[in-house]
Structure 1
Amino acid sequence: MSAPRIDTEARQGLTMVSPPLIYAVLVLAAPLATILAYSFFRDGYLEVIHEFTFENYRAVLSDPVFHKILLRSLWVALAVTAATVLLAFPVAYFLSFVVPPERKALWIFLITIPFWTSYLIRVFLWKVILGHNGVINATLTGIGVIDEPLSFLLFNVQAMVITLAHAYAPFAILPIYVALEKIDRSLLEAGRDLGESRMMTFWRVTLPLAMPGVIAASLIVFIPTIGDYVTPELIGGGKIPMIANMVQKQMLALDNRPLGSAVAVTAMLIVAILSVLFLLLNRRFLRVRS
């Protein structure tokens, strides 16, 4: 009698899951499949020739410009991820261990306030802050610290890292906070009862148990950052392109959809491989810690 019951529960589960699954396939899988198909076509004059070829991938993998832009994108994404997680962990730790339970909801509400405004507006605000006549230069000039506006605040990689780290900070704080909230406080008390200092208790107990949240935060920040288009265009002034800018140029400016699709697919594969390697390395780290 248990087998029919399991089959019934499975059918009910599939019935509940099928609408969002169909939606995900239509919204996510269909565009990805289209891009993948285009990457194997040939580009003709003002048209796409539906002829199977690997020429686009050979062109991408042998292009030194692609290598340079990919390395830059990876470096920027890693720098943003490191900066965001390092800044988010103390905030999440403070929220989990210091803030009284009755005030945590208020703090989470305050952390999510940046989501109320458009991402594009937040990037524009950083351009206003770091610009030649922006807030920082105007303040420093007004109080007499500098005579002329600083020219190195904007249109460089450092400005892009600052902007992206600010934009994705809430995405890093929340998963780390959730992981810290799941830690059994009795484990920390046991560590201190055994003579461990607060620092060693944090290193041996808190940090390993919080690693799932750190991993989730790292992936949540790393994956969208490497494909960001707006920040390199506005904060980088269009002079420091990343992968998304290269895809946009091939797709729209040069109207070479097959090559642009090949660039996009290659970048997605590289990001997927790096993400899997990161998860495997951290799983090994967790196993060693345990």
Structure 2
Amino acid sequence: MAETSLSKSRTARGAPRAFGARLTRYLRRSETARGYLLMSPTLLIMTIGIVVPFIILLVISMWTRQGFSFDTTLTLANYARAWNEPIYGALLARSFWISGVATVATVALCYPMAYYVAFHVHRNKMMWLILMTLPFWTSYLLRVFAWKVILGYEGVINSGLSAVGLIDAPLAFLLYSPSAVIITLAHAWAAFAILPLYVSLEKIDKSLLEAATDLGDGPVARFLRITLPLSMPGIIAASFLIFIPTTGDYITPALLGGPDGAMIGNLIQVQFGAVNNWPMGATLSIVLMLWIAALALAFLLVTCKVQERIA
């Protein structure tokens, strides 16, 4: 009996060691397992910082407000209200329109700058990138206030146009309008477009452009056939980096948008703040995320198809 108990204890102690040895051999041989092991801290942080808050937000969105408290009975009444009331759909459509125009304007303005640095600057490229992103080292809120001063009724633009006699009264559409929100967003998020565009353009093999020139392609044909298709990943990345956060922005519309420039982010902020209707604010947040995911997926599919046809 003693020998049997001793052998069982040795077997019990040896099992974890054998399992550890097999696991070590598996990790050494499998590149996939090593990759997941390296990613595990990041995955853990993302799970804690993204998935868990999303689940909490989803649960809150199924509550209902009753006076100054919340009924925790799970229901889809808030989603039905968000679908049926026109104000929510109108604000969503306006948010997507403003963010889409700002995204196109930002990418269109930043592409030439990134192109110039990638193809025409041969020394001190890092210094050029630092200089282009230098204005964005200041606070986002300060940049928004700066544009409020520039676009104001007595701001730089109106004062300059009035001084040279081009206008008799301040231009009202510059401030507290969707155009003011688009201009400010395009400037505020330009740094997030310049860097991915530059990286995408910098990776293009210059010998392909030389070969196209030898075959008779001019600058326009060379750009459309080689540079633009090969830089499409940078355009897609820049578009995602701008469109997704600007759709939910509420600081710029609150300071510069006025009644016609309000976006869905302003309504969500009001629901969580002044109105104290957390379930409705959570519902609008979930709806906004779902719409953004659907639009981003559609945009990615369309751009991939266009890129295949161009190539």
Superposition TM-score tier, normalisation by shorter sequence = over 0.9
Q: Is it true that 1:28 corresponds to 2:50 in the alignment?
A: yes
Partner in structure 1 of residue 262 of structure 2: 241
Taking CA–CA contacts closer than 8 Å with sequence separation of 6 or more, which of the two structures ends up with the larger relative contact order? Answer: 1
Give the counterpart letter for 2:98 in structure 1.
Answer: V
Q: Is the 8 A contact 2:178 2:260 kept in 1?
A: no
**Unpaired segments ≥5 residues, structure 2:** 1-21
2:65 counterpart SS class: strand
Q: C-alpha offsets along residues 97-122 of structure 1, whole Å, 9 cap, x if unaligned?
A: 1112x221111011221231011100
Give the counterpart letter for 2:129 in structure 1.
Answer: I
1:253 counterpart SS class: coil
Alpha carbons of structure 1 residues 196 and 10: separation in structure 2 relative to 1, 3 Å:
closer
Shift of 1:258: 0.9
Q: Is the 8 A contact 2:103 2:242 kept in 1?
A: yes
Q: Count matched residues.
A: 289
Q: Is it true that 1:64 corresponds to 2:89 in the alignment?
A: no
Give the counterpart letter for 2:68 in structure 1.
Answer: L
Q: C-alpha offsets along residues 236-256 of structure 1, whole Å, 9 cap, x if unaligned?
A: 135532111111122222111
Partner in structure 2 of residue 7 of structure 1: 27
Aligned partner (choices 22, 26, 41) of residue 63 of structure 2: 41
Partner in structure 2 of residue 141 of structure 1: 162
Partner in structure 2 of residue 17 of structure 1: 39
Partner in structure 2 of residue 178 of structure 1: 199
Partner in structure 1 of residue 109 of structure 2: 87
Shift of 1:81: 0.8
1:48 counterpart SS class: strand
Tell me the distance in 1 between the aligned counterparts of 2:26 and 2:175: 61
Output the aligned Cα RMSD: 2.0
Tell me the distance in 2 between the aligned counterparts of 1:137 and 1:240: 20
TM-score normalised by length of structure 1: 0.93
Tell me the distance in 2 between the aligned counterparts of 1:214 and 1:51: 45
Alpha carbons of structure 1 residues 180 and 151: separation in structure 2 relative to 1, 3 Å:
same
2:261 counterpart SS class: coil
Among all aligned residue pairs of Structure 1 and Structure 2, give the percentage whose two residues are the same amino acid: 45
Q: Is the 8 A contact 2:78 2:283 kept in 1?
A: yes
**Unpaired segments ≥5 residues, structure 1:** none
Q: Is the 8 A contact 2:250 2:263 kept in 1?
A: yes
Bigger Rg over Cα: 2
TM-score normalised by length of structure 2: 0.87
Tell me the distance in 2 between the aligned counterparts of 1:84 and 1:5: 51
Give the counterpart letter for 1:263 in structure 2.
Answer: L
Q: C-alpha offsets along residues 203-223 of structure 1, whole Å, 9 cap, x if unaligned?
A: 011100000000111111110
Alpha carbons of structure 1 residues 285 and 39: separation in structure 2 relative to 1, 3 Å:
same
Shift of 1:13: 4.4
Shift of 1:144: 3.4
Aligned partner (choices 92, 95, 118) of residue 73 of structure 1: 95
Q: C-alpha offsets along residues 60-106 of structure 1, whole Å, 9 cap, x if unaligned?
A: 01110011101100100110011111111111111111112x22111
